[in-house]
Structure 1
Amino acid sequence: MQETIKCTPEEMKAAIESVTQKGTDWSIFTTGIGTNTLFEAAESLGLLDELTQVIGASRIASRGYKTVQALKKYGFTSEIVDGDGTNAGLLHALQDVSFSDHNVFLQLHGEPVPALENTLAEKGADVSRVLPYKTTVPNPAIVTQLVDEVITGEIEAVLFTATPQVRVLFQEAEKRHLSTDLAKAFNEIAVAGSVGKVTTGTLNEYGITRVVAPERERMGALIVAIDEYYKTN
């Protein structure tokens, strides 16, 4: 479905230089591994001191406990933290914050997050982002085939183990104006299984309301949850 590849420091250079030069009012971090990769790239480029100074002068929000821990390594404490490890939880935590005429530096992972970026923009933020990783699609034909098989009912369940898989699938559907049909198929025919809250939240963003997800966010637990679902439905 997809592959996530670490960006080189040179690929992140423009985003890092931009925030160090103009500063930021808010710094929002969404993944621990992406946070570490960002600061490692800044160090490689000789920009670590400038970046940490700018981030330290801003207000900081973060998603997920791994992100909080990663920021602590660099001496930062998050003022605002989500309640459940999801983008929706982060937005909820930020709902009373006014971003009008504020610069926001947003660390994503390997792809844009429209729900997060658009909401910040609607609240008046000037958002600049950095993606320490990039998502690629090694075999587009497989993605196209899966869209068709879900819609036609040839597939009874699809297990998603990461958010990018959801986005890649729906981006392909959108190219062919089939995203509504795909969401409907998941709600009525094929069951969508999700390994955790973040992936579930992304499925919900695309209109999928029927999601089977285990309480324990592990692949084995997901297999058991799907098995239990089919035993009772």
Structure 2
Amino acid sequence: MTDTLGTAKVTGQAGPLQGFRIGVTAHRRAGDLIEALERRGAQVLHAPALKIAPVESDEALMAEIAAVIAAAPDIVLVTTAYGLRRWCEAADAAGRGEELLAVLGRADIYVRGPKARGAVRAAGLDDAGISPDETTASLTGLAIGAGVRGKVVAVQVHGFTDAAALAQLRDAGATVLTVTPYRWISAGDGDRLSQLIDAVANRELDVLTFTSAPAADAVLSAAAASGKGDAFLAALRSPPAADSPHTVGPHTVGPHSAGGTAAVASAAVGPVTAAPLLAAGITPLVPERFRMGALIRLVVEHLEEAGAVQVESRSGLLEVRGQALLINHVPVPLAPAPLQLLKALIGAGGSVCSQAELAATLGLGGHALHMAVSRLRAALPDPALVETVVKRGYRLRV
């Protein structure tokens, strides 16, 4: 369930994401994503940055539909299944649905991926080709390869216009029309977005998820305007390790293995969504298949491998999972500073951690470090599990 602040509370049996806190910025299909994460035991902070404008009030879309019908384009590029459905629904609402389908039926239609192809065929149409890697760049290249000089090309954009792709079509000699079946507007949902920005800046989330490029851009802009932009970016920018799971850079998506080192990992559903993050110096996790289910699986794999540490002690199993301490699989309340202290001590495997090392790692001064040690000992079943090594530091009895 979700409280008034948008934080979903874990209920029922523990899952692989127990103890982890995940931020969701999606508006469309947010319920599906949140339900899937909650079902696996996560806590979710939902803060939609943008929502889709109602189609019936979109006068610009109606004008774009009229322009496409009048131009009867030679080539049509369909980037999303949802966009094509909204395009047809809007034309139907304007009483021009049959005209639009007739125009589309005479054009060569190129699609960005299998879902877009499915929507085209569900509308009773056929396509002339599909992008090999489900990107707008390869879709544009496919059309240019087929020949666009002197032709009219209609491009269904998806809320985040790829200006470079449109420029390539024009440079290749095409006359380009765009249709934007869904436009993004501010969600205006209380102060949830500011709370999410604070949670990232304070490093109280384990992963921040993005499912659309406009939402990613909006969150970055909101963070910059909030006065906490530097802390927000610093929490997300720590680069993942070289072999981190499916991190996406300008050219490649790597194989799955060890986790990254960012204080708050970011995860994007595909390279289009990742683009604003990469431009801001943030390297997100991106699944090899650009689907919601694949994104969820990647988040689970990343957190299980990178976000959980455990050790057997004489008092039982101690485990830090994201923002939670579990002792013998039972959650125990613990503030962030002593929780991170325990994580550092577990990571040392019983070796001594100096006070200077812990203070630097945790960002705590001398007094704050001593307070964190005291609070950690008070939370453990046996305070002596955290041993003071005179003139050296602390270690965990394992």
Structure-2-length-normalised TM-score: 0.48
CA-CA distance at 1:145 after TM superposition: 8.1
When structure 1 is superposed on structure 2, of 152-161 and 85-94 the one drifting more is 152-161
Q: How does 1:176-187 map to 2 (within 5 A)?
A: 186=237
Counterpart for residue 161 of structure 1:
210
Counterpart for residue 184 of structure 2:
135
Structure 1 residues 172 and 90, CA gap change in structure 2 (3 angstroms): farther
Counterpart for residue 110 of structure 1:
159
Please give the alpha-carbon distance, in whole angstroms, between the structure 2 residues aligned to 1:220 and 1:145. 23
Q: Secondary structure in 1 aligned to 2:183?
A: strand
- Is the Cα–Cα contact under 8 Å of residues 267 and 299 in structure 2 kept in the other structure? no
Counterpart residue type for residue 122 of structure 1: D
Structure 1 residues 214 and 78, CA gap change in structure 2 (3 angstroms): same
Counterpart for residue 76 of structure 2:
27
Q: How does 1:82-231 map to 2 (within 5 A)?
A: 82-94=131-143, 96-139=145-188, 154=203, 158-163=207-212, 164-170=214-220, 186=237, 188=239, 192-199=265-272, 201-203=274-276, 206=279, 208=281, 210-215=283-288, 217=291, 218=293, 220-227=296-303, 228-230=305-307
Q: Secondary structure in 1 aligned to 2:52?
A: strand
The structure that is helix-richer by fraction is 1
Counterpart residue type for residue 296 of structure 2: G
1:51-107 superposed Cα distances (whole Å, 9 cap, x missing partner) = 122222222111121211111123221112112333234234345244333321111
Counterpart for residue 67 of structure 2:
18
Unaligned runs of at least 5 residues, structure 2: 1-48, 240-261, 310-346, 348-398
- Is the Cα–Cα contact under 8 Å of residues 268 and 284 in structure 2 kept in the other structure? no
Please give the alpha-carbon distance, in whole angstroms, between the structure 1 residues aligned to 2:179 and 2:284. 30
**Number of aligned positions between the proteins:** 230
- Is the Cα–Cα contact under 8 Å of residues 110 and 133 in structure 1 kept in the other structure? yes
Please give the alpha-carbon distance, in whole angstroms, between the structure 2 residues aligned to 1:172 and 1:69. 36
Counterpart residue type for residue 83 of structure 1: P
* RMSD over equivalenced CA pairs, Å: 3.7
Q: Does 1:62 align with 2:111?
A: yes
1:188-225 superposed Cα distances (whole Å, 9 cap, x missing partner) = 45555325324555357636573223456425324313
Q: 2:101 aligns with which of 24, 28, 52?
A: 52
Unaligned runs of at least 5 residues, structure 1: none
Query: More relative contact order in 1 or in 2 (CA 8 Å, sep 6+)?
Result: 1
Structure 1 residues 187 and 95, CA gap change in structure 2 (3 angstroms): farther
Structure 1 residues 185 and 73, CA gap change in structure 2 (3 angstroms): closer
Structure 1 residues 104 and 215, CA gap change in structure 2 (3 angstroms): closer
Q: Secondary structure in 1 aligned to 2:53?
A: strand
CA-CA distance at 1:226 after TM superposition: 3.2
Please give the alpha-carbon distance, in whole angstroms, between the structure 2 residues aligned to 1:147 and 1:121. 39
Structure 1 residues 123 and 153, CA gap change in structure 2 (3 angstroms): farther
Please give the alpha-carbon distance, in whole angstroms, between the structure 2 residues aligned to 1:122 and 1:186. 35
Please give the alpha-carbon distance, in whole angstroms, between the structure 2 residues aligned to 1:91 and 1:207. 25
When structure 1 is superposed on structure 2, of 61-70 and 106-115 the one drifting more is 106-115
Identity over the aligned pairs, expressed in percent? Answer: 25
When structure 1 is superposed on structure 2, of 193-202 and 63-72 the one drifting more is 193-202
Please give the alpha-carbon distance, in whole angstroms, between the structure 2 residues aligned to 1:175 and 1:99. 42
Q: Does 1:71 align with 2:147?
A: no
- Is the Cα–Cα contact under 8 Å of residues 183 and 206 in structure 1 kept in the other structure? no
Structure-1-length-normalised TM-score: 0.75
